[in-house]
Amino acid sequence: MPLSSEPYIVRMMYSAHSKDPDELAELAEDTDEYVRINVANNPYTSPATLAKLSADTAWYVRVTVAVNKRTPREVVYQLAHDKNENVREAAQRALDEN
């Protein structure tokens, strides 16, 4: 059964605690931004999935992508030029730390 058909609380749990990059990639497509934030924050999310989430419509998802250590540096550079000031600041801090 696809994770998208699971109840919200189950998707939240999987997005926060899964170690399976394929599950996380599926959850990155979730309609709920809090599930996507958990995916963006999860240390097992693949760089490719993080790159995809860097274009999320919710700025707070993009902030979380910017500070995830697995986010490719070129994606963080792109986020440093985001239209949202919070995203730009988070990306710049991440770049300054590395």
Percent of the chain residues past pLDDT 90, beyond the cut: 94
pLDDT score recorded for residue 2: 86
Nearest to 94 by CA among 79, 10, 43: 79
In DSSP notation, 1-23 reads --GGGS-HHHHHHHHHH---HHH
**Domain 3-97 belongs to what topology?**
Leucine-rich Repeat Variant (1.25.10)
pLDDT at 1 over 80: no
Tell me what percent of the chain is helix, strand and coil, each rounded to the nearest 5. Answer: 65, 0, 35
- How would residue 15 be classed by pLDDT, with cut points 50, 70 and 90? very high
Query: For the chain, what are the domain ranges?
Result: 3-97
Which structure tokens are listed for 89?
């600041």
- What are the tens digits of pLDDT across the range 26-40? 999 999 999 999 999
pTM over 0.85: yes
Pick from 87, 89, 53, 96: nearest CA to 71: 53
